[in-house]
Amino acid sequence: MKVTWHGHACVSLYLNDGTRIIIDPFITGNPTSDLVAKDVQADYILITHAHNDHIGDAELIARNTEALIISTVEIADYFAKKGLNTHGMQPGGAFNTGRFWIKLTPAIHGSSYTEQDGNIVQLGIATGIIVKADGKCIYHAGDTAVFSDMRLIGEAGRLDYAFLPIGDNYTMGPRDACKASSFLQPRHLVPIHYNTFELIEQDPETMRPFLPKGVLVVLDVGVEITI
Per CB under 5 A, the segment of 38-46, 52-60, 85-93, 214-222 that binds Mn ion is 52-60
Residue 140 interacting with Ni ion (CB under 5 A): no
User: At 76, is the secondary structure helix, strand, or coil?
Assistant: helix
Residue 53 interacting with Mn ion (CB under 5 A): yes
Residue 143 interacting with Ni ion (CB under 5 A): yes
Distance CA 26, CA 110 (A): 17
Q: Select the binding partner of residue 59 from Mn ion, Ni ion, none (C-beta < 5 to 8 A, by kind).
A: none
Q: Binding residues for Ni ion, how many (CB under 5 A)?
A: 2
Q: Residue 89 phi/psi, 5° resolution?
A: -140, 180
Per CB under 5 A, the segment of 16-24, 46-54, 56-64, 84-92 that binds Mn ion is 46-54
Distance CA 123, CA 99 (A): 27
**Residue 111 CB, nearest approach to Ni ion (Å):** 8
Asked whether the beta carbons of 189 and 160 are under 8 A apart, the reply is no
Residue 8 interacting with Ni ion (CB under 5 A): no
- 209 Rama class: left (phi>0) / alpha (psi -120 to 50) / beta: alpha
**Residue 54 CB, nearest approach to Ni ion (Å):** 6
Query: Which H, E and C letters describe 37-55, residue by residue?
Result: HHHCCCCEEECCCCCHHHH
Nearer to Mn ion, 53 or 74 (CB): 53
Nearer to Mn ion, 101 or 110 (CB): 110
Residue ranges that bind Mn ion, judged by CB under 5 A? 53, 143
